[in-house]
């Protein structure tokens, strides 16, 4: 279940301690087997502070809102993964390239084979962290409200409203040369959980 | 801009330090003026650890994916708010009720007037935290890719794909008495940024 949730999203919220206090940047990621790859500018001080220290990586999919009769039992349908671990820098260029491909591929399945790969300068400018998918847990809620028995007869509507992510039509870049067709992964953008 | 972003979402990722390490649970919230309200079970130890200590509250809206010619310039369109501050418990019942209404209303605009309000036992079982919207910043990216000039002529499609949140048809609770009509806020669920 953890992997399935991770594969539906591409943005994680990464908790790091910086100057003694928690900081939670949103970050794109890519999953390969039991590793999440994160990346950023080599100069990014948060990535530097993350390296070698405890971090928490949380991925959340919001699937709907749950309207119970009682305010108390209102809820959301969701699937989330909270991972704990220590991120380490990826030093070798082969490993960095594989991680960056995984991130491009996580965001847009099918894209990594088409994009121009990083050149040497871009690779130097990019820091890649590997975070183990080892310690943590998934939590999910689905379905309708669960009210207290004495509330069920109340004259209050109850139920749930599903929410989902939808992709709109692809928008070509302003400077795209004429005649370059839109690839299917953009014209018919699909990820697990996102409808085109 | 900070308030507009906060008002489009209802789930925050809250960074707390627990036993010396960061923890990032997803939490529903409600905004009232310059305060974000968070809540949970009184017995929830994370809320207890958050109280009086530095925390980071991050809210992220993912608006699309950006496909540049170079893997390096791939990106996402998004709007995010990262807030820093110290959360404090709300002790008085009037303040707690107002906060809980705000959370119900943030998740489903229009619902708080209809739901059965918390009774005394439910109120005791619920801890409410107030987190100031004072220190922090918003970051956004929108629009198409920005490639290096030497990449623009490459034979690679570039552009962006918008993503948005869509509400599906409301699903009545299994135990809903016949004849109770679906309220508009559920049948035509709308939030800023979510289409019905």
What string of DSSP letters covers chain A?
-HHHHHHH--EEEEEEEETTEEE--EEEEEEETTEEEEEEETT-HHHHHHBTSEEEEEEEEEEEEEE-SBGGG-EEEEEEEEEEEEBEE--SHHHHHHHHHHHHHHHSTT-TTTSBPP-HHHHHHEEEEEEES-EEEEEEE-SS----GGGTTSS---EEEEEEEEE---EE-TTPPTT-PPPHHHHT--BTTEE-
The answer, yes or no, to whether residue A195 has pLDDT greater than 80, is no
Of the candidates B80, B111, B163, the beta carbon closest to that of A165 is on B163
- Relative to beta strand B11-18, strand B26-32 is antiparallel
User: What are the C-alpha distances in Å from B40 to residues A15, A73, B152, B169, B188?
Assistant: 20, 12, 51, 28, 28
pLDDT in tens, B30-63: 999 999 999 999 988 888 889 999 999 999 999 9
Nearest to A70 among B54, B115, B162 (CB): B115
Q: What is the pLDDT of residue B178?
A: 87
Q: How far apart are CA A108 and CA A118, in angstroms?
A: 17
Q: Is B54 on the interface with A (CB under 8 A)?
A: yes
- Within 8 A of B128 by CB-CB distance, chain A residues are none
- Rounded Cα distance, B163 and B193, in Å: 11
A94 inside domain: yes
CB A70 within 8 A of CB B116: yes
β-pairing verdict for B159-167 and B54-67: antiparallel
Alpha helices in B42-196 (DSSP H): 45-50, 93-107, 120-125, 184-187
Q: How large a percentage of chain A has pLDDT more than 70?
A: 99
Give a yes or no: residue B179 inside a domain: no
Q: Would you say residue B136 lies in a domain?
A: yes
- pLDDT band at residue A191, thresholds of 50, 70 and 90? confident
Residue B180 lies in a domain: no
Other beta carbons within 10 Å of B94: 8
Each residue's pLDDT tens digit, A52-94? 999 999 999 999 999 999 999 999 999 999 999 999 999 999 9
pLDDT of B76 higher than 80: yes
- B178: Cβ–Cβ under 8 A, 6 or more apart, which residues? none
Which strand (E) or helix (H) includes residue B54? Answer: strand B54-67
At residue A120, the pLDDT reads: 97
Q: Which residues contact B94 (CB under 8 A, 6 or more apart)?
A: none
Asked whether residue A69 is domain-assigned, the answer is: no
pLDDT of residue A115: 97
The ipTM value here is 0.96
pLDDT of residue A178: 87
Its domain, for residue B81, covers: 2-143
Residue in A closest to B153 by C-alpha: A177
Taking the C-alpha atoms of residue B75 and residue B146, their distance in angstroms, rounded to an integer, is: 10
For residue B36, the tally of other CB atoms under 10 A from its CB is 27
Per mean pLDDT, which range of A143-152, B77-86, B90-99, B185-194 is the poorest? B185-194
B130 located within any domain: yes
Within a domain: B72 = yes
Closest CA–CA distance from residue B80 to any residue of chain A (Å): 8
Strand partners, A165: A194, B165
DSSP state of B144: S
Q: What is the average per-residue pLDDT within B152-178? A: 95
Question: In this structure, is residue A196 part of a structural domain?
Answer: no
CATH of the domain at B87: 2.30.110.10
List B residues 6-25 in contact with A (Cβ-Cβ < 8 A). Answer: 10-11, 13-17, 20-25
Rounded mean pLDDT, A18-28: 95
Digit-coded pLDDT (tens) for A98-136: 999 999 999 999 999 999 999 999 999 999 999 999 999
B87-139: pLDDT as tens digits: 999 999 999 999 999 999 999 999 999 999 999 999 999 999 999 999 999 99
B9, B12, B14, B24, best to mutate vs chain A, most A CBs in 10 Å: B24
pLDDT band at A194 (very low <50, low <70, confident <90, very high): confident
What is the pLDDT of chain B when averaged over all its residues? 95
Which residues of B, range 100-139, sit inside 8 Å of A by Cβ?
100-101, 104, 107-108, 111-112, 114-119, 122, 125-126
- Please answer whether residues A30 and A131 qualify as being in contact, where contact means their C-beta atoms are separated by less than 8 angstroms: no
**What 3-state class would DSSP assign to B143?**
coil
pLDDT for A196 equals: 64
Q: How far apart are the first and last CA of chain B?
A: 24
Closest to B57 in 3D by CA, of B30, B75, B78 = B30
Asked whether residue B196 carries a pLDDT value surpassing 70, the answer given is no
Answer with the residue of higher pLDDT: B194 or B141. B141
Q: Centre a 10 Å sphere on the Cβ of residue A52 and count the other Cβ atoms it contains.
A: 12
Q: What is the pLDDT of residue A152?
A: 95
Residue whose entry in the numeric block shows the structure tokens 């809620």: A141
| C-alpha separations of A123 from A78, A92, A99 in Å | 36, 10, 11
Within 8 A of B176 by CB-CB distance, chain A residues are 157-159
* Domain count along chain A: 1
Q: pLDDT-derived band of residue A49, with 50, 70 and 90 as boundaries?
A: confident
Smallest CA–CA distance, residue A132 to chain B, in Å, is 16
């Amino acid at each position: 279940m953890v992997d399935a949730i991770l594969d539906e999203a591409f943005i994680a919220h990464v908790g790091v301690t910086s100057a003694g206090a928690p900081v939670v940047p949103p970050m794109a990621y890519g999953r390969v087997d039991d590793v999440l790859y994160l990346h950023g500018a080599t100069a990014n001080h948060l990535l530097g502070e993350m390296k070698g220290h405890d971090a928490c990586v949380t991925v959340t999919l919001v699937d709907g809102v749950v309207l119970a009769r009682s305010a108390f039992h209102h809820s959301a349908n969701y699937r989330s993964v909270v991972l704990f671990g220590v991120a380490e820098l990826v030093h070798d260029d082969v490993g960095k390239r594989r991680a960056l491909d995984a991130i491009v591929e996580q965001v847009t399945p099918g894209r990594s084979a088409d994009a121009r790969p990083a050149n040497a300068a871009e690779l130097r400018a990019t820091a890649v962290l590997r975070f183990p998918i080892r310690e943590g847990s998934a939590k999910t809620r689905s379905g309708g409200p669960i009210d207290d028995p004495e509330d069920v007869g109340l004259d209050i509507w109850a139920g749930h409203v599903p929410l989902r992510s939808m992709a709109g039509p692809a928008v070509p870049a302003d400077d795209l040369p004429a005649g370059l067709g839109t690839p299917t992964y953009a014209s018919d953008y699909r990820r697990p959980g996102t409808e085109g």
